Structure 1
Amino acid sequence: MDKQALQALLRESRALIDPGAYGLFRSLRQGRRAPGLTQAQMDQLLHRAQGTYNRLETGNYPNPSEDLLRDVARLLAFTEHEWTLLWRYTLRRDPPTPLDPGSGQEVVEAWREVVHGISHMAYVADQSWRVLDYNQPFADLFPGGKVPENSMRWMANHADARRILARWEECWLPLILPQLRSALAAMPDDPTLAEIKEVVLADPVTGPMFRAGGVSPGAQAYRYERPLLHPLKGPGWVHMCPAQPLDTPGIRLMIIVFHPGEDRPGDSRLRALSPQ
């Protein structure tokens, strides 16, 4: 437990909450009102025994329950990033689920500018691979510039994907389908993922591979760079660069770096970055 960081996070967040919003007040001995909720008021609003919140904020509450952490985070209006920090400071691990169940379904408008400011192919998708926004280089990847509504369904099932994603069955499917299985395990009630699964299972190629599970050993060689037949630029290789906004777990920013040519780029592109 990182007591110092935990105390700073909770104390500073607590100071931002107006007690008046809950019909409460906080005053100093001199009669002046101090900002934020008191620790006793936190207990009151959390419906916890007196001293519970104090133990948490001071780092004297070993192994706090998920319910307590979630109630505190919601009362203090935490972002998803702050929710993650709360877990790391108290239990030294990431939270099992997002604070907001809908956090993987939408992202703030500023990410539109990010996507359109990238020169490589780029798009943003939600936790079910529904495409939320994309730039023109990504649109150029599809015939007529028509971007699919769901990138996972397109990669796993669409006829165009089997042509554009070169050596689709060998280099792409064994890496795509495990991602779908993993998402279904984490979100078994997601209707979009369930629909994609049914489509995949019904296909004579993807169905058996999906049921078998796992990644074929040969496909691991293509986890970083995969062959692609670009409709406008011709054959080449792409490096998939996924990222995730800190405040929106489940949202994916996918940047696809394209290198033209039949020959696979050298391994020098895969070297780790080091400080300049």
Structure 2
Amino acid sequence: MELGLTQEEFAQAHGFSIRAYGDMENGGKISMAAMYALRESLRMGPQARAQFFRLVTGDAPSLRGLTVDEGLARVSAKWAEIHLHNQQSPTVLMDGGWNAIHFNAAWAGLFESVEPHPRDHPLDNPLRFCFFHPDAPRIFLDWEEGWLVTAMCQFAHHYDLNPDSEQLVEIRRRISQDSLLESVYVNRVSAELTERGVERIIEGDGNDRPLLVDGRPHHALLTVSIPWHAREYGYQLLTLSYGNQGSGPATDTAEPRPRRTSPAAQPGADATPAAAEASFAGQATREERPSPDRAVTIGQLLREYRKRSGLTQELLPRVTGLPVTFRTYRNWEAGRDQPRKEYVAPLAAALKLPKSVERFLYTMITRGDPPTRGVRGGPIVERATKRWARTHVDDRNQKAPTVLMDGAWNVLTCNDAYRALFKHVPPDPLNHPTLNGFRYVVFHPDARDTFAEWYEQWAVPYLVEFGATLMRDRAAPHPEHLALLSELRADPYLWSIYTGRVHTELQGSGTAIGFEGDGDVRGMYLPAGGGDSERIFQEVLVTAGVPLHGKEYGYQFCTLALLA
């Protein structure tokens, strides 16, 4: 009633049948999926949401540990309309604490048989479901190896970057109370991150995962996207594609392993919850054991690779040529201090760190993303990109015009809707929108006729993003970026924009501006008919993001959804 809608109007606006919604208001059964949907649709405040959960499930929910700005939430809702609710496959949008912000009907249907839980239901928090809910191994087949280890590697990374988050601290505490989970965290996750670094954190994107769907085992294609507007908040869109959208039924029909197994057979693994609690409390451990709180620390990483190299603490500073004393280096390994970011490269060279581990070390030291590795990946990344695009770009799953670009804005793939949107653009061997998004907006003359407010809403944001890219990789700019810079310098008008307005933006908040303007409604002038003689004004919702597997290479996708 507070929304000013009748039962009929509310039901039609939010996808319920009039009869079903009327029954719910009159005391009928409310499913978990309907409860979560109604909490959002009725715009309930925190207290009302908690009370509604209690009435439906009989339990009190835990409070969400992360708060979001109202503006961010509004953009996320618009973003979800394009990239989540249009998906046929189960899809969920999560914040940095893995709280489910939005999910589609397919996601709710996948977990319809899961028992209600005040904290760990997959419609509330998929990570906590995977870790703690007793139904997780029944649905996530090969639970420990196929799901748990990867999820815990990602959690360990978030926890290292956000050690003061009450929500993450609580998850860490609950891990410490479970002997199996603590053993995986302290031993297996530590080993995985030490050996593979960033690669282990992002590898889930594009992998097949065994999954129980309607009582039958399937191989689901797991893909992960990062909304551009929330990339600094840890948001992730997770999609599980199977059947026509994924890899099809699984051939392994074995029963899933039990929820509880003995702790991993690792040297020094704690075998009891009491021992795990003692470790988490920070009691002394042997030097070889990982940190009781963090899965792996900067000091442990340095010590492990120094021992592999056969170097002593006294010798390592001299081998690296770093201007530090033996005592300073010893403090790094002991965790009393840490190296500066400019020391990462010489340390990596001396210790022969794999590139992915070097990037992991950089992230632990700086709490930020390392410079991109280039503008495109190799064969493994290309395969992951093709699989990712099948779910998020292909016309079968994404009806709105969508393009996926590499780190130099070269088009890796686009759907037919995107090609149709720009079919009026004259051919160009370099600057066509189906070849390079940046070059089209900045250099192609048609862009100024197609994009309304070209200067303010399209050219400046694109050039700001270009400038931010050069700043990020200033130590070793990519040749393709330098080539674009030379072309800008050769055009007096574009160069004046870049050295004037764009420079001012970059000195202020420009580095946080995405060239796509994720969540913006912008204008385009599109041909009214078959020819280009008459154009009509069309509003488009611009949304953008990053495929997780391509983050290291600056990959980005952009969708231009025409509004009625």
Same fold (TM over 0.5): yes
| Superposition TM-score, scaled by structure 2 size | 0.34
Residue of structure 2 equivalent to 1:11? 191
Pick closer, same or farther for the CA change 1:50–1:151 going to 2, 3 Å. Answer: same
Question: 2:322 aligned with 1:48, yes or no?
Answer: no
CA distances 1:126-147 after superposition (whole Å, capped 9, x unpaired): 2221222222222223226864
Match of 1:164 among 431, 450, 454: 450
Match of 2:344 among 32, 56, 66: 66
Q: CA deviation at 1:225?
A: 2.5
Residue of structure 1 equivalent to 2:487? 199
Contact 1:225 1:239 in 2 (8 A): yes
Q: CA deviation at 1:173?
A: 1.5
Q: CA deviation at 1:115?
A: 2.4
Q: CA deviation at 1:158?
A: 0.3
Match of 2:553 among 221, 245, 250: 250
Residue of structure 2 equivalent to 1:35? none
Counterpart-to-counterpart distance in 1, 2:492 and 2:345: 45
Contact 1:140 1:232 in 2 (8 A): no
Question: 2:387 aligned with 1:124, yes or no?
Answer: no
Counterpart-to-counterpart distance in 1, 2:303 and 2:561: 57
5 Å matches for 1:80-159? 86-89=361-364, 91=365, 93-98=367-372, 101-102=373-374, 104-106=375-377, 107-117=381-391, 118=393, 119=398, 120-143=400-423, 147-159=433-445
SS at match of 2:552: coil
Contact 2:344 2:361 in 1 (8 A): no
Pick closer, same or farther for the CA change 1:147–1:177 going to 2, 3 Å. Answer: closer
CA distances 1:206-263 after superposition (whole Å, capped 9, x unpaired): 232112023499xx9x9422212345895222313222425642332313141335xx
What is the total number of aligned residue pairs between the two structures? 229
Contact 1:164 1:231 in 2 (8 A): no
Counterpart-to-counterpart distance in 2, 1:166 and 1:199: 24
SS at match of 2:371: coil
> Where does the alignment leave 5 or more consecutive residues of structure 1 unmatched?
17-27, 29-38, 262-276
Q: Which has the larger radius of gyration?
A: 2
Counterpart-to-counterpart distance in 2, 1:73 and 1:258: 49
SS at match of 1:249: helix
Q: CA deviation at 1:92?
A: 5.9
> Which residue identity does 2:420 align to in structure 1?
D
Moved more, 60-69 or 116-125: 60-69
Instruction: Work out which structure has the larger RCO, using CA pairs closer than 8 Å and 6 or more positions apart in sequence.
Output: 1
What do you get for the CA RMSD once the two structures are aligned?
4.4
Percent identity, aligned pairs only, is: 17
> Where does the alignment leave 5 or more consecutive residues of structure 2 unmatched?
1-158, 164-181, 197-266, 268-301, 317-329, 426-431, 530-535
Pick closer, same or farther for the CA change 1:199–1:88 going to 2, 3 Å. Answer: closer
> Which residue identity does 2:556 align to in structure 1?
L
Counterpart-to-counterpart distance in 1, 2:337 and 2:187: 14
SS at match of 2:524: strand
| Superposition TM-score, scaled by structure 1 size | 0.63
SS at match of 1:166: coil
